[in-house]
Amino acid sequence: MELKRVVVTGLGAITPIGNNVKDFWEGLASGRNGVAEITRFDSSKFKTHFAAEVKDFNPLDYFERKEVRKHDLFAQFLLIAADEAIASSHITPINTDFDGVGVVLTAGIGGVTHFYNEVMEHAKGDGTPRFSPYYIPKMILNIPAGVVSIKYGFRGPNFATVSACASSSHAIVAAFDQIRYGKAEVMLAGGAEAGICEAGIGGFNAMHALSLRNDDPLTASRPFDKNRDGFVMGEGGGCIVLESLDHALRRGADIYAELVGVGMSGDAYHITAPHPEGVGALFSMERALKDAGVDKSEIDHINTHGTSTPQGDLAETIAIKKLFGEHSRHISLNSTKSMTGHLLGGTGAVEAIATILALRKGLIPPTINHFEDDPQIDPELDFTFNQARKRDIRYALSNAFGFGGQNTSLLFKKYTI
């Protein structure tokens, strides 16, 4: 069968460096740093005292009070991003059959903050169960997709994907396939996370995954730097509207980019550590290229997973060198996590948006906080350190890799008829 072309027609984001797409992009382009001391709780007894929180956020600016009580913070972020993406796409019941619009929204963990608070309240009592009626719906991560469906009347495919930090990239893959195989004309896809709480920070501290640079938190997220010591927890979310090209053209939509290929893989190695030779990352990128029928030499930009962990950053660069060979030195690489921190289940969608906007704007956002080259990483690789750079981009990859060794690569192309 002939596969349909799939384009991006809507974007929505709420992040530590901007609470909408416009501000997010301005933050990326200027190298804005979203990391600061944790305000959500007293972190003084924890190993890590900082994170990348969403700033100046009041849920009552977006929801009625009764709605706020129904949704964990991760879901609030996701619903806000979904509303912006839908509004920016300009789909309406007049130009689109909402009965066929699908939704794939997700998180890596879900309502961990709500879960923690409910359990702690129960533990303080006499054992009598007094759980909120919203306890389960606020915790499980498929609920936002249902809420969006109810709000807008979208009756197409509706579900969630879960693969830790690759969750929202897998959501985009799933939405892409629904459209190109002719099962839907329009799909909303994305993810969010809000894990900056005692359980989230404590859990990742126990795994030795987070940076401990409490003396200098602003420079703690330093992907590919010699002295990187772990990732910085971030929060927020992103959504994109995907649409068949035919449908987008019929209604005169503004097209941000074309999604031309996707790749997925498993490391088959370890539940938390990446394969040291980057095997899964290589397969993921290679399969995205094959899916799109694009040659390695055509790739101009990769938004790397680049978490600022010693093992992960090295493994990804090894994969890039192996796959692209000599051409790897001509690819503009970056890690936007240097600014936003790691949004876990929201990272794939948020960084897909960063990649789409880099294509559209002709600008590679920087990898900030670079101080010293890592001798294990090829110094001729171009990580766009510390300053944004203009570049005409035709093809760009966005990588997202999750615990469990679950990898995704999304290949976007500058839209041309």
Active site residues: 165, 305, 342
Task: Work out the angle between the directed axes of helices 21-30 and 347-361 (0-180°, nearest 10).
Answer: 70
Q: Are 208 and 353 in contact (CB under 8 A)?
A: no
How far is 265 from 216, CA to CA, in rounded Å? 36
Instruction: For residue 207, give both structure tokens.
Output: 């795994």
Residues forming a β-bridge with 239: 12, 190
Q: In whole angstroms, how far apart are CA 299 and each of 260, 350, 360?
A: 12, 20, 15
How far is 132 from 283, CA to CA, in rounded Å? 45
* Backbone phi and psi for residue 332, each to the nearest 5 degrees, phi listed first: -80, 110
Phi-psi region of 124 (alpha: psi -120 to 50; beta: other; left: phi over 0): alpha
* 217 CB-near residues (< 8 Å, 6+ apart): 35, 36, 37, 49, 50, 232
Number of other residues whose CB lies within 10 A of the CB of residue 216:
12
Q: Which residue is associated with the tokens 């469906």? A: 149
